[in-house]
């Protein structure tokens, strides 16, 4: 007989007390996943030179990791409901750590695709998705504030890890630096330990479910019927094109600086400080011109989108379908994350200019914004139609009352 347990669904989020430890765990998870992805650009040139490959070939490492995070997000959500958030995050931390450590012994770029790309991305998915979900369970009234603090971990750890990775590469080569990074990512397991359930209603951690049941639960988080929702599909196109432009700039920033002869440590420190400052100062904007100025920076574009795209998705499909819509949206968006860096790398290889990679990313982001404008127009038409229908119904009701 297969035993399953009821998912953790607390009556009310505490918004304090132990919730702050969960927030700390989420802060570190953001930094040790997407923060590491952003800081990985310092490995890029070393790996490209060592294996004598192209910019396109090397960029697939990051692309595969990003795509795997998005594709496996529904699986991580489904597993968390049956094996507890804590155990899934701990397993993800171990997979991520081992993937990076194995990557340090890679004999070619293909092996880096499988280790630092796929295995590392799988570990990130199993770590990031349940942690963010648990944060939402622990915070209700303070949820926007908690999400903002947690996502700041990505910015702050990018600031700390980028120069640290360069120092490790200079001291121990890129292989030694990857070994140390793998050991550092074991802290994701510590973050998993901090994810204490709100209620002690979890079943045994060795509880098992059949393959058919697991498949059903995963598909529950990927509602393919949303393909008939025009607003959702337009919003998904925004996500796809935005992902094309999100990850390439961070990957090619260091190579671009080197191609221009800019002193590396000074460039890294200045650009990362600028990126962090822009993100942290964004809440101080009190007018549209100020906000537009901040939005000109890549870091703000990325950070602002991460902060609000889930909220907008809930408005597009409704809160009751958010879980399944998020899984489907991330599957569609994953193709952008997968193809963005290689496409930028292709432009760089053809034109022999790293600046073309930034142009491609900028164009992709502008195209994604066009889909948002289209969605806005669709919503306005829907509101007009609803208002007209209500007005007609009200007039008919008034005539009946008079009669």
Cα–Cα distance, 255 to 191 (Å, whole number): 33
* Distance, first Cα to last Cα, the chain: 66
How high is the mean pLDDT of the chain? 75
pLDDT value of residue 33:
92
Band of residue 173 on the pLDDT scale cut at 50, 70, 90: very high
CA angle 352, 356, 359 (to 5 degrees): 180
Report yes or no: 82 and 266 within 8 Å, Cβ to Cβ: no
Q: Using the Cα atoms of residue 11, residue 19, residue 126 and residue 59 in order, give the sign of their dihedral.
A: positive
Cα–Cα distance, 356 to 347 (Å, whole number): 6
Cα–Cα distance, 175 to 111 (Å, whole number): 13
Cα–Cα distance, 153 to 241 (Å, whole number): 25
Cα–Cα distance, 136 to 19 (Å, whole number): 10
Report yes or no: 153 and 27 within 8 Å, Cβ to Cβ: yes
Residue given tokens 């053809």 in the structure block: 350
Per DSSP, the three-state class of 207 is coil
Query: How confident is the model over 99-127, as pLDDT tens digits?
Result: 999 999 999 999 999 999 999 999 999 99
Residue given tokens 């599957």 in the structure block: 331
Query: What is the CATH architecture of 19-195+215-382?
Result: Up-down Bundle (1.20)
Query: How confident is the model over 260-285, as pLDDT tens digits?
Result: 665 544 644 454 455 445 545 555 66
């Amino acid at each position: 007989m297969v035993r399953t347990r009821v998912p953790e669904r607390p009556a009310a989020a505490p918004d304090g007390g132990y919730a702050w430890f969960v927030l700390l765990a989420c802060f570190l998870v953001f930094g040790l996943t997407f923060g590491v992805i952003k800081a990985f650009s310092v490995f890029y040139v070393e790996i490209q030179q060592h294996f004598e490959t192209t910019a396109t070939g090397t960029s697939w490492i990051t692309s595969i990791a990003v795509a795997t995070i998005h594709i496996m997000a529904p699986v991580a959500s489904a597993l968390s409901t049956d094996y507890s958030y804590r155990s899934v995050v701990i397993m993800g931390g171990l997979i991520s750590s081992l993937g990076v450590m194995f990557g340090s012994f890679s004999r070619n770029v293909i092996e880096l695709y499988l280790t630092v790309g796929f295995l590392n991305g799988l570990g990130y998915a199993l770590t990031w998705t349940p942690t963010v979900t648990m944060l939402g369970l622990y915070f209700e009234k303070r949820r926007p504030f908690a999400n903002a603090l947690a996502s700041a971990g990505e910015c702050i750890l990018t600031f700390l890890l980028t120069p640290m990775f360069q120092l490790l590469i200079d001291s121990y080569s890129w292989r030694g630096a990857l070994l140390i990074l793998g050991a550092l990512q074991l802290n994701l397991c510590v973050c998993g330990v901090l994810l204490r359930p709100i209620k002690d209603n979890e079943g045994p951690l060795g509880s098992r479910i059949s393959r058919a049941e697991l498949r059903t639960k995963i598909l529950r988080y990927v509602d393919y019927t949303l393909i008939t929702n025009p607003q959702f599909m337009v919003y998904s196109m925004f996500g796809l094109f935005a992902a094309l432009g999100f990850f390439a700039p961070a990957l090619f920033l260091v190579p671009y600086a080197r191609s221009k002869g800019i002193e590396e440590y000074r460039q890294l420190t200045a650009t990362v400080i600028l990126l962090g400052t822009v993100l942290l100062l964004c809440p101080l904007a009190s007018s549209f011109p100020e906000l537009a100025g901040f939005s000109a920076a890549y870091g703000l574009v990325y950070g602002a989108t991460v902060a609000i795209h889930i909220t907008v998705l809930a408005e597009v499909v409704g809160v009751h379908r958010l879980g399944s819509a998020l899984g489907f949206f991330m599957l569609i968006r994953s193709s952008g994350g997968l193809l963005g860096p290689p496409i930028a790398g292709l432009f760089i290889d053809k034109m022999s200019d790293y600046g073309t990679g930034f142009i491609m990313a900028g164009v992709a982001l502008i195209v994604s914004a066009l889909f948002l404008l289209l969605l806005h127009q669709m919503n306005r038409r829907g509101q007009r139609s609803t208002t007209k229908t209500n007005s007609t119904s009200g007039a008919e009701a008034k005539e009946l009352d008079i009669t």
